Structure 1
Amino acid sequence: MTAQFNLTRILNCPPETAWRWVTDPELMRRWSTARVDLADPGPGEKPDTAGALRVVTLPDGKRKLREVVEYAEPPHEFRYRVYDGGPLLLDHRGVQTFAPLPGRRTELRWEVSMRLALPGAAHLLSRIIRGQVGESLDQLAGLVEQVPLDESAPATPQVGSMTPPDMAALFEDADESLATQRSIADHLAGTDDPKQWFARVYQYVTEEMIAAARNPATLGLAHPDWVLSLIPTFHDYYEFNLTAYRTGGAVEDAWAKAWSTAESTDPEHPHVPVMKGLLYGVSAHIDADLPRALAETHRARYADRDLREFRPDYLRLAPVFTAASDRLLADLPRSHKPWWTGLASKINPQLRDAMLAKNGYDVGRHRVKSFAAAVELVRQESACA
């Protein structure tokens, strides 16, 4: 169940100034009861553009929320979402709007909604957070009157123009990659090859990505064309290395480790090499292939844009991996699954994912790092151009 609240304050400054006070972490730390730090800026190296990352340390000093700025239209509307708040937090997002009033004043409206895995907990937490946010806004209202800021409008980074995408062609290319992945997974399964499990989950991820692009409102995708563009690029790295491994060619280290581990044997625990090989395959895809695939796609199709513009969509794709994991777990023999996966899934799929991350590979955290690595690759390429 979703809990939400709305708070409104009248600030004695124009919207341009209010925007800076409310969206710049450095200024926010002067009035917010929760500490806000900029983890990574968005386009224009700014903290208030879509794609910027923030870390919010709650007033107890122990728990942290990791946020992404999803939309920014200065000085009118600012939206953010928590993409990592622990396994019990299913959703947490905020919308801040700035309306000009006579006398160079601003009406600030702050809407917050959240969902938790525990029934009733969202409403209790909502009341607590409402009180903290209300206290913070009271401090802000007093601060803007005491500390003047430059009231010039914030500079908005230039966004490159983009030719309308040929969605039919993008879907055709993605579907072609998917057909090859299905064929590979079916062949490996037919020969009882232990590499089948990564091949199958990779197929599932691609299916879920295509489904998300067909219905972008489901995950709130702003750039479904970008999502589709990534699929063939990822696929090429995967297919090249698998073919090279099967034919005795040169294989990149991360993939060689994944495939050779899956094929190794452990007579006492025969499932262990298979599962380790699966996790090493996931690592090869995310740690080795993902940064360069993101950079390559950006260079080929979106070179006039800032890659960080696409980070909100990238993080919105997280449910794709949960859905693919669900499907793979349903396929795996019982001997290959940790005993607690079924119970954890019934309680909360995010709890299961958190336990898998703790005991194997943290997909969410590694995906965040891989995107940052891709941004750096693009930056280096631009510097050398």
Structure 2
Amino acid sequence: MRKILNIYKLGIKEIYSLLRDPVLMGLIFFTFTIAIYSVAHGVQTELNNASIAIVDEDRSSLSSRISGAFLPPYFKKPDMIELSEVDPGMDAGRYTFVLDIPPDFEADVLAGRQPQIQISVDATAMTTAGNGTVYISSIVQAEVTKFLGRSSGEVALPVDVQIRSKYNPNLDSSWFLAMMQIINNLTILAIILAGAAVIREREHGTLEHLLVMPVTSGEIMLAKVWANGLVIVLSAVLSLQIVVQGVLDIPIHGSMWLFAFGSAIYLFAVTAMGITLATLATSMPQFGLLSIPVFVVMNLLSGGITPLESMPQALQDIVQLLPSTHYIKFAQAVLYRGAGLEIVWPQLLATAGIGLAFFVFALFRFRAALASAR
């Protein structure tokens, strides 16, 4: 009971210390409010107002139908240009797509000769280029099919494909980006706050005060873990309820309590990682430089931005040792698909096991740092 009381009181001290730090409190507020809103509205992966030009060398009824099919909000009004203007226009960045309809296109279509339309794409805008090419191909195919149906009576397609998008029926990228931004920011803040707590003790000289108190290094570290973890979990839950559900009007399908429980397990590992980095650094700037590559690599390779299946097999095996890999699977299953504990327990168990290993190593490093401070 004495150890539990020590951990509780030291944790309360950590929370008071954090509340009195305007910089860190401002960082927490910005990270879970403005940063979430700006990313959800400012970053778009779907096609929106893409610039397109059309070279109509056929000037037929069919080519006019195709030219008139590119409409907002996916495309801007097409610019009708000559063939000699294609390269200068794309070099200057005025057009993302250029559609070249060849001469005698309509006549070749009616004769069944399968003519080709060239689509030139500015692939520097990678996401827009990939999505836009699919949209353009679909639009051209649809207009040609309608034209042939009008000319020859009816065109029977061999397959009727019905697309059903689950969990995000409008394919709105803000639904994905808002919640993934909370998950990524949760990782960053956990490392920063836990590490900053240790660095702050050292810079303010209060670490020496702790050393003369009847507390162990394990109690000191557990207090920092639960206090900073509690602040981050509460901030993430409030951000989901107020910013995501309230302001952005994005539905959350799963249990908020299950998400908070899984986040607490994950933060047990990540805050321990932050304390480990703080024992390696001697100042706050040094800690910041040391932590940047850690959470950047964790976010990029955890499967939240790019699918794990697209990575080399060796890298897929390595990232299984990161707690963020299992946590992102858990968070996406709960928040996006409404999964229950019976589905996500393997991810929670893996996160807890990796977190325990990180905590043991962090405790070893923290004890060594306290011994050197005596």
Task: Give me the TM-score of the superposition, normalised by structure 2.
Answer: 0.30
| More strand by percentage | 1
| More helix by percentage | 2
Higher-RCO chain (CA-CA 8 Å, sequence separation at least 6): 2
Task: Give me the TM-score of the superposition, normalised by structure 1.
Answer: 0.30
